[in-house]
Amino acid sequence: MNSIDLSLYLVTDNSDDVEKFLKTIEDGIKGGVSVVQLREKTANTLDFYNLALRVKEITSKYNVHLIINDRIDIALAIDADGVHVGQSDMPCDVARKLIGKDKILGISASTIPEAQKAQKDGADYIGTGAVFPTTTKDDAPSVTKQELKEIVDSIDIPVVAIGGITIENASELIDTGISGLSVVSAIMSAKNPKKASQELLNIFNS
């Protein structure tokens, strides 16, 4: 089990304006982001690789974990801290074999059986959602607060909640036993990403 501070887990969105994108990530980290997951669904391999290198410069500077979404080749190429895969991506046990035992492996799971299988197959943590309606990921299954609690209770590895989490609703999740809040728009689209991160972290730690 790789230890990782999941308390404020930032998942990136598209990076049309790369300099602004990188500054948003850095500002989020300054506000308390503890993990950055780089997600690029449309970039070609070279662009993703080059962007990942630049993001890694930032995460390394602040000693924050960098997780690559889905693309194990990119994660290995830049020596990221780990990868995160969904239920329709590389199987968890295969991903674990490819990245080795020392890298962090996160799995998306929205049911107890999915979460238990991920733990058995070598995941270090679970991402569960969508806990609130979200526009970031249209195909994300919805998970009620009660279901979230039950998933947390069914496994021994940490769970982060994801999906539509904002400064306004984050407090609703605090008593579920989760190990962190995972957000996209709440930081990536914030006018002040540093302040947004500080507020989210304060809510989670309250």
Q: Among all residues, which ones are annotated catalytic?
A: 39, 108, 137
Instruction: Please give the model's pTM, rounded to 2 decimal places.
Output: 0.96
- Contact status, residue 37 vs residue 84, Cβ threshold 8 Å: yes
| SS3 labels along 74-119 | HHHHCCCCEEEECCCCCCHHHHHHHHCCCCEEEEECCCHHHHHHHH
Q: Which residues contact 86 (CB under 8 A, 6 or more apart)?
A: 70, 107, 108
> What sign for the dihedral angle of Cα 34, 80, 38, 11?
negative
Q: Would you give per-residue pLDDT tens digits along the chain (206 residues)?
A: 678 999 999 999 988 899 999 999 999 999 999 999 999 999 999 999 999 999 999 999 999 999 999 999 999 999 999 999 999 999 999 999 999 999 999 999 999 999 999 999 999 999 999 999 887 666 678 999 999 999 999 999 999 999 999 999 999 999 999 999 999 999 999 999 999 999 999 999 98
The one-letter code for the residue type at 12 is T
